[in-house]
Amino acid sequence: MRLNKFLSFCGVCSRRKADELIKAGKVKVNGKVITELGIQVDPEKDKVEVNGKLVKPPKKLYYLFYKPRGYITSLYDPYNKKTIAEFIKKLPLRVFPVGRLDRDSEGLLLLTNDGDLANKLLHPRYEVKRTYLVWVTPKLSEEKISNLLKNGVIIANKRVKPLKFELFKKDGEEWVYRVVVKEGVKREVRKMVGFLGGRVHRLKRIEFGPLKIGNLKPGEIRPLSEKEVKKLYDFLNLEKSL
């Protein structure tokens, strides 16, 4: 990790201000004054000091968040759209969302300051499953669903196939389907439903990898239990270091 990014991550100052501190000779790494920008540090091994005070990374935090409809998965929007920052600002330390849900979608998001874990959850190699409930009209053709499961559909120049696409229940005039995907392609579930001739009325993510939304209500945030964090690390074959 670049030294200025590390200082920013630890809450010392912005990256720009960190560069100023480095050039002024106020930062030491393993007892040596550093004045060169772009130096890399290992947050787990290197000893970093600013003005003689030891700088330590913040504790790693993990939260489940039920993103409500009508909010974009961003901490800032130049067009003044409602963002999830409204909910995250209540938390004690800075965290960021892992993955995205579009403005009209709702459901499970992971919030964390653990960059390594976030990167692996989103990396295509790990094929992390995402499970959705989608409210649709009219009822979709079983033959078309079978064809989609077998052959997939081209989305964003990529052939994608759901792992599951099954009728879950009927809710009033709408049909609710349970859809499991692994690619993480933008708006893929909505596009699959459109390909099948349906219209999406509501889209809710209920699972992301080993995480489940449970009884969370829109706008609610709760910390992951130690058991849930361990399950998440075991899922990615990572070693947990808090």
Cα distances (Å, whole numbers) of residue 187 to 100, 143, 156, 191: 10, 23, 10, 6
Residues belonging to the active site:
102
Rounded-to-integer distance, Cα 99 and Cα 197, Å: 27
Query: Is 160 within the bounds of a domain?
Result: yes
138 plus 189 within the same structural domain: yes
pLDDT score at 94: 83
Do 225 and 111 share a domain, yes or no? yes
The distance of Cα 106 from the centroid of its chain, to the nearest Å, equals 13
Give the span between the Cα atoms of 242 and 140, in whole angstroms.
46
Residue 196 lies in a domain: yes
Which range has highest mean pLDDT (10-14, 33-37, 90-94)? 33-37
Q: What's the pLDDT band for 242 if we cut at 50, 70, 90?
A: very low
Question: What pLDDT was estimated at residue 160?
Answer: 94
Query: Same domain for 112 and 146?
Result: no
DSSP symbols for the chain? -BHHHHHHHTTS--HHHHHHHHHTT-EEETTEEE--TT-B--TTT--EEETTEEE-PPPP-EEEEEEPTT-BSSS--TT---BTHHHHTTSSS--EEES---TT-EEEEEEES-HHHHHHHH-GGG---EEEEEEEESPPPHHHHHHHHHH-EEETTEEE--SEEEEEEEETTEEEEEEEESS--TTHHHHHHHHTT-EEEEEEEEEETTEE-TT--TT-EEEPPHHHHHHHHHHTT-----
Residue 79 half-sphere exposure, CB side, CA atoms within 13 Å?
4
154 and 200, same domain (yes or no)? yes
Note the pLDDT of residue 193. 98
Residue 241 lies in a domain: no
Q: Residue 193 — φ and ψ, nearest 5°?
A: -60, -40
For 182-227, the pLDDT digits (tens) are 988 899 999 999 999 999 999 999 999 999 999 999 999 999 999 9
Q: Would residue 175 count as lying in a domain?
A: yes
Q: pLDDT tens, 47-103?
A: 999 999 999 888 899 999 999 999 999 988 888 889 999 999 889 888 999 989 999
Check whether residue 95 and residue 78 sit in a common domain. yes
- 134 and 173 fall within a common domain: yes
Domain that holds residue 199: 129-208
- Between CA 183 and CA 185 the distance in angstroms is 5
Based on the fold, state whether residues 44 and 115 are members of the same structural domain: no
| Residue 97 belongs to a domain | yes
Q: Is 182 a domain residue?
A: yes
Assess whether 42 and 158 both reside in one domain.
no
In this structure, the answer to whether residues 116 and 94 fall within a common structural domain is: yes
- The CATH number of whichever domain residue 133 belongs to comes to 3.30.70.3190
Last residue of one domain, picked from the residues 37, 55, 73: 55
- Model confidence over 137-194: pLDDT tens digits? 999 999 999 999 999 999 989 999 999 999 999 999 999 999 999 988 899 999 999 9
CA distance 234 to 224: 14
Residue 148 shares a structural domain with residue 192? yes
CATH number of domain containing 81 = 3.30.70.580
242 within some domain: no
Domain count, the chain: 3
Pairing status of strand 106-112 against strand 199-208: parallel
**Residues 99 and 28 both lie in one domain:** no
- Mean pLDDT, range 34-53, rounded to an integer: 92
Q: Dig out the tokens for 142 from the structure.
A: 């079983």
Q: What CATH code is carried by the domain that includes residue 24?
A: 3.10.290.10
Q: Contacts by 26-34 with C-beta closer than 8 Å and gap 24+?
A: 26/50, 26/51, 27/3, 29/3, 34/3
Mark whether 134 and 200 lie in a shared domain. yes
